């Protein structure tokens, strides 16, 4: 008799878990209280990248690129941008709906609660379950400060639904989401300031790459204030006054809108977990290596349980939880997870950073290749960018790859696979890469580890331009 699996949450973790469980012969019920696709598809990854795509095209045309194209009366129709964004979201949501239907997954819309470890209620209707997979995702974290309820303070969802790009924007939080929104609205002409509490933006990424990105953001007109602490927000007519401590000085910024981008927190309230004794830590559900909670037949995946709040992590965990629940050997390998930032140029990273390698006392070699030495990068981004490879000094095994440049978010898959397969610098060098591509800069960076890059003069300092 087929096992009944009930999945709570229809985001990138939940719907993938549902499809994988159905492929393995389970009777699958998926519960979603909002729209299929979750945060990523509806108000996160996809709509943000759609608007970023338009923003970069708009910026390029206003600044006379690509060369040879002359355009007059360039103007922004924001309503059409929003309509384009929504059309993409609708198309992909319908695609998810169709995939679930094709795999005979029963979809229920409503608020789900755990009545017991074998019973889930959906708006009062009970669903028996052999296995429950929690995929309830996350929500924007909020700070409490004087004036935190002022009109004009936005989270990322509201910032994507403004009637027009604001004239000015203060972004509180210099992580991935904050930097992407700052880049997007700056391209539309907004005056943007990023305020980050830590000494550097984009924490967790390689310091060298972050320094180059920060310089590029400043060059584009974005003010970056690190070691800045928000103290108060006050209404000042039609604008907001942002009072903060920047290093040792008090600073006041005047802005039309404020984007609060200080991270996300698991959305685990109102599930009925308290009565079941589900083990949690600061709102995050604790799981073992098989994504099982302390209750044997309940799994938790994605943002509600993972320290890495990324859609691709949720999807991989969703498939793995379904496989384990149905007696299969999961194919999840969570030690190598790429991260991407959709600025222009893009940023991507996988494996350890230089700082992490030094903290661990590893004996490493570093290879760098500036994309000003790559023909395709010159075409796409005027040669801005760099590839950095960290490898073991003795055997040449690839430990980390960090990219800033065009197509970085696509190239990172090659780097992740190389680390997964324990590939060496020599194996990367001996793999023939197509020309002309950005990808052929990867073996050049590997060659630079040995001081033998072909398309960069020996002894010349490696720069990002």
| Enclosing H/E stretch for 443 | helix 441-449
> Which residues partner with 235 through β-bridges?
240
Instruction: Give SS3 for 73.
Output: coil
Burial track 256-265 (b if 16+ CB lie within 10 A, e otherwise): bbbbbbbbbb
Q: Strand ranges (DSSP E) for 118-248? A: 119-122, 125-128, 131-134, 138-140, 153-154, 168-172, 191-196, 223-226, 228-236, 239-246
- Of 110, 89, 113, the C-alpha closest to 10 is 110
Distance from C-alpha of 368 to C-alpha of 387, rounded to nearest angstrom:
6
Long-range contacts of 181-186 (CB under 8 A, 24+ apart): 181/48, 181/156, 181/259, 181/261, 182/217, 182/222, 183/52, 183/55, 183/217, 183/220, 183/222, 183/343, 183/344, 184/48, 184/51, 184/52, 184/55, 185/55, 186/220, 186/221, 186/222
- Both tokens of 252, joined, read 């006041």
For the annotated catalytic residues, the residue numbers are: 435
Q: What angle do CA 383, 388, 394 make, to 5 degrees?
A: 150
**Cα 375 → chain centroid:** 28
């Amino acid at each position: 008799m087929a096992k009944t699996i009930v999945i709570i949450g229809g985001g990138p973790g939940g719907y993938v878990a549902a499809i994988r469980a159905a492929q393995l012969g389970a009777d699958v019920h998926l519960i979603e209280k909002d729209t299929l696709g979750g945060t990523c598809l509806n108000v996160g990854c996809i709509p943000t990248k759609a608007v970023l795509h338009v923003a970069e095209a708009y910026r390029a045309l206003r600044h006379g690129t690509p060369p040879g194209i002359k355009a007059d009366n360039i103007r922004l129709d924001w309503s059409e941008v929003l309509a384009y964004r929504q059309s993409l979201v609708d198309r992909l949501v319908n695609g998810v709906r169709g995939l679930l239907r094709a795999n005979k997954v029963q979809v229920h819309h409503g608020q789900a609660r755990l009545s017991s470890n074998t019973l889930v209620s959906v708006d009062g209707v009970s669903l028996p379950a052999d296995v429950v997979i929690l995929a309830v995702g996350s929500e924007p974290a909020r700070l409490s400060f004087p004036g935190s309820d002022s009109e004009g303070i936005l989270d990322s969802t509201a910032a994507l639904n403004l009637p027009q790009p604001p004239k000015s924007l203060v972004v509180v939080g210099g992580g991935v989401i904050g930097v992407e929104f700052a880049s997007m609205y700056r391209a539309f002409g907004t005056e943007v300031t990023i305020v980050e509490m830590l000494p550097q933006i984009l924490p967790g990424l390689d310091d060298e790459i972050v320094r180059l990105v920060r310089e590029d953001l400043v060059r584009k007109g974005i003010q970056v204030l690190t070691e800045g602490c928000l103290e108060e927000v006050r209404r000042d007519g039609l604008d907001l006054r942002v009072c903060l401590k920047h290093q040792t000085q008090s600073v006041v910024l005047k802005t039309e809108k404020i984007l609060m981008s200080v991270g996300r927190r698991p959305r685990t309230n109102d599930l009925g977990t308290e009565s079941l004794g589900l083990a949690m830590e600061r709102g995050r559900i604790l799981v073992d290596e098989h994504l099982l909670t302390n209750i044997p037949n309940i799994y938790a995946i994605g943002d509600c349980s993972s320290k890495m709040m990324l859609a691709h992590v949720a999807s991989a965990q969703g498939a793995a939880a379904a496989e384990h629940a149905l007696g299969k050997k999961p194919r999840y390998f969570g030690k190598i997870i790429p991260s991407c930032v959709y600025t222009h140029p893009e940023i991507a990273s996988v494996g350890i950073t230089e700082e992490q390698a030094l903290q661990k006392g590893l004996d490493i070699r570093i290879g760098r290749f500036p994309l000003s030495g790559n023909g395709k990068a010159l075409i796409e981004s005027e040669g801005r960018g760099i590839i950095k490879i960290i490898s073991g000094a003795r055997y040449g095994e690839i430990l980390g790859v960090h990219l800033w440049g065009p197509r970085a978010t696509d190239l990172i898959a090659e780097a992740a696979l190389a680390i997964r397969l324990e590939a060496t610098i020599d194996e990367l060098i001996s793999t023939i890469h197509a020309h002309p591509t950005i990808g052929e800069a990867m073996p050049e960076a590997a060659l630079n580890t040995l001081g033998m890059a072909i398309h960069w003069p020996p002894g010349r300092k490696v720069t990002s331009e």
